[in-house]
């Protein structure tokens, strides 16, 4: 478990963290999402003791990171995939880390296999593509078989196959009971990966919610109707208190009315229709819905 409570951090005039508080629970992937500059990396750096907070606390497994004697056995982190010694081979890079934690070479070979780098393990890491560096960074995070994983924008630089791979990996790690925190500035990157979301803007949490609940709430009152008379249908539905948009193929999309109500309204107005379906919001749409009311968040996102 990761616990962050009331973190404040300033860099000169910039307020990077402004009361950041949340918990990352075991057994699920928690997406840490917000626009660029909203404080995600700073929070992760504070959790790892790389930056000191001005106020507040950050605990991993109930303890401050700095007090852990073999930290890689408690928390695996990928913050900056470029942070490696370019002349060292991938295997030597991991061996060096492993030895510092009392781990052996066998574990290094295991994680190289897990991330798909076994075939290039003896090549200089400096010549690796961004995607390969990401994989090497993930191998390093997995080295100590930690119960907590924290990855800052791990999808960055990965091709579609790599993205699918990392989604499966993160879900698998959570299914093993680990607490997994993964940041992204794009909600779409977390679709199909995160079970839970901590949405941040300007250094604090805007929403802390389950993905399923978020989508269910945003889907409530979204209905699509196919009709030969879209204009009449729209007028009747708007009068009944919904909002309606027509997409040009005769499909009217309605917000704010349940499907039973849509059927009743169209029936009363004598508007024929051939199809009606309740629609499920995408994660991206749910996110927009969630952040619409947050003026601060909008201002931040528009910068
Ligand atoms: N070392 C630093 N010195 C000065 N300002 C900093 C430093 N680190 C972060 N900041 C500022 O703190 C704020 C939060 O940055 P942070 O990198 O934590 O955001 P982020 O959500 O991780 O963004 P991104 O998605 O771009 O990585 C930004 O305004 C950033 O410019």
pLDDT digits (tens, 9 = 90+) for 28-38: 999 999 888 88
282: helix, strand or coil: coil
CB 251 within 8 A of CB 224: yes
Distance CA 80, CA 242 (A): 47
CATH architecture for residues 2-209: 3-Layer(aba) Sandwich (3.40)
List, in sequence order, the alpha helices (H) in 19-66.
Answer: 40-47
Q: Can you say whether residue 52 is alpha, beta or left, with left for phi > 0 and alpha for psi between -120 and 50 degrees?
A: beta
Q: How far is the CA of 17 from the centre of ligand 1 (A)?
A: 9
Just give the CATH number of 220-303. 3.30.70.100
Q: Is the pLDDT of residue 148 over 80?
A: yes
- Lowest mean pLDDT of 3-7, 14-18, 277-281, 297-301, name the range: 297-301
Residue 42 alpha carbon, nearest atom of ligand 1: 18
Residue 198, beta-bridge partner list: 32, 208
Bridge-partner residues for 3, per DSSP?
Answer: 23, 59
pLDDT interval class at 46 (50, 70, 90): very high
Domain with CATH 3.30.70.100 in the chain: 220-303
Start-end of CATH 3.40.50.300 domains in the chain: 2-209
**Probe ligand 1: pick from 8, 17, 41, max atoms within 8 Å of CB?**
41
**How many residues are recorded in the chain?**
303
Which run of H or of E encompasses 264?
A: helix 259-269
Q: So what's the ipTM on this one?
A: 0.95
Over the Cα atoms of the chain, what is R_g?
A: 24
Instruction: Give the integer Cα–Cα distance in Å for 270 and 265.
Output: 9
């Amino acid at each position: 478990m990761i616990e962050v409570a009331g973190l404040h951090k300033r860099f000169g005039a910039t307020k990077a963290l402004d009361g950041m508080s949340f918990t990352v629970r075991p057994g699920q992937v928690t997406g840490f999402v917000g626009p660029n500059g909203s404080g995600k990396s700073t929070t992760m750096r504070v959790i790892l003791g790389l930056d000191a907070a001005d106020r507040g606390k950050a605990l991993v497994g109930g303890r401050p990171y700095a007090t852990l004697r073999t930290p890689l056995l408690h928390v695996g982190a990928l913050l900056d995939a470029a942070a490696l010694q370019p002349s060292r081979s991938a295997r030597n890079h991991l061996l060096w880390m492993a030895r510092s934690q009392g781990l052996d070479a066998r574990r290094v070979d295991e994680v190289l296999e897990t991330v798909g780098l076994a075939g290039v393990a003896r090549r200089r890491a400096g010549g690796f593509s961004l995607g390969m560096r990401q994989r090497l960074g993930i191998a390093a995070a997995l080295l100590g078989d930690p119960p907590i994983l924290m990855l800052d924008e791990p999808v960055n630089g990965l091709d579609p196959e790599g993205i699918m791979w990392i989604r499966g990996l993160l879900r698998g790690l959570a299914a093993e009971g680990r607490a997994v925190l993964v940041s992204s500035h794009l909600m779409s990157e977390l679709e199909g990966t995160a079970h839970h979301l901590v949405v941040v803007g300007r250094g604090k949490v805007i929403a802390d919610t389950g993905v399923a609940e978020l989508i269910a709430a945003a889907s409530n009152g979204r209905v699509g109707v196919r009709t030969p008379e879209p204009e009449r249908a729209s007028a009747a539905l708007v009068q009944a208190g919904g909002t309606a948009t027509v997409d040009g193929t005769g499909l009217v999309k309605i917000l704010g009315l349940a499907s039973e109500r849509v059927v009743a309204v169209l029936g009363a107005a004598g508007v024929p229709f051939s199809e009606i379906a309740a629609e499920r919001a995408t994660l991206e749409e749910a996110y927009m819905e969630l952040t619409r009311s947050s003026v601060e968040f909008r201002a931040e996102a528009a910068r």
